[in-house]
Structure formats: C-alpha cells, structure tokens
Amino acid sequence: MTTRDRRAARGFGLGAEARAAFLLRLTGWRILARGYRAHGGEIDIVAARADVIAFVEVKARPSLEEALTAVTPLKRERLSRAARQWLSENGWAMGRTLRGDLVAVAPGRWPRRLAAAITLDLGHA
C-alpha cells in the first residue's frame, strides 16, 4: 500500500467516524470522546445516553455487509483493553450499563448502528 493509499484510507475512516458521530448525536447520544487511544487499543467513539456508556467501533467498508462483519477477535480484544483504560480514568461511569456498539458505514448509505454488537471483556477495569 502506498502512502497515497494510506492517506485515502485514513481520510475515508475519519469521514466515517464523523458520520457515525453525527448519527449518534442525532439519536440522542452525547459524545464523550473520539479517537481515544490507550496502550494496545483504541476506541473510535465513547458515547453516553441515559445510563448507557457505549464504546463504539466504526467500520467503513465498500458495503454495509462487509462493515458489519469486519470486527475480528483481535479488534474486540484491543477495544476491550482501551475501554478498560478509559473506565480506569473515568470511574464515574462504572455504575452505568457498558456495552460495545458498532456503526457500519458504506459510501452513499446511511450509517447503521448495532447496539451491543461487540462483546467486551471489561473484567479488569
């Protein structure tokens, strides 16, 4: 992959995250963090609504079907690691319902959010 290809892919991903954040806000979610990085993991979006904290993975692919199947076990592990770190820094969230959501984004399509689509391991938060 060339530098140009990597830049294009990064731009596509950032655009997808912006679309996902817009969808979340439109449906009543408050964005707490975007692009949260922890040692060994990353969370695209942390969002809150009522008593729920959602650790949101955004997957942008040529089709919604490809995006919906793009979360690998390794990605779940990295998301869980980052979520544990975020929770250790935001103890106030521990009493809330915690879940891993997925927003699938495809060109020319409305983003699709799947609540609790990702099983997180938060045992060591």
Q: Give yes or no for residue 18 having a pLDDT over 80.
A: yes
15-27 average pLDDT score: 95
**CATH code 3.40.50.11900 for 3-118:** no
- pLDDT value, residue 68: 78
Rounded mean pLDDT of the chain? Answer: 91
When computed from its CA atoms, the radius of gyration of the chain, rounded to whole angstroms, is 14
**pLDDT value for 125:** 55
Alpha-carbon separation of residue 70 from 23, 86, 103, 107 (angstroms): 20, 23, 11, 16
79-124 per-position pLDDT tens digit: 999 999 999 999 999 999 999 999 999 888 899 999 999 999 998 6
- The confidence score (pLDDT) of residue 97 equals 97
What is the domain partition of the chain in residue ranges?
3-118
pTM: 0.90
When comparing pLDDT for 9 and 86, which is higher? 86
Question: Residue 92 has what pLDDT?
Answer: 96
pLDDT score at 123: 87
Whole-number Å distance between alpha carbons of 122 and 59: 21
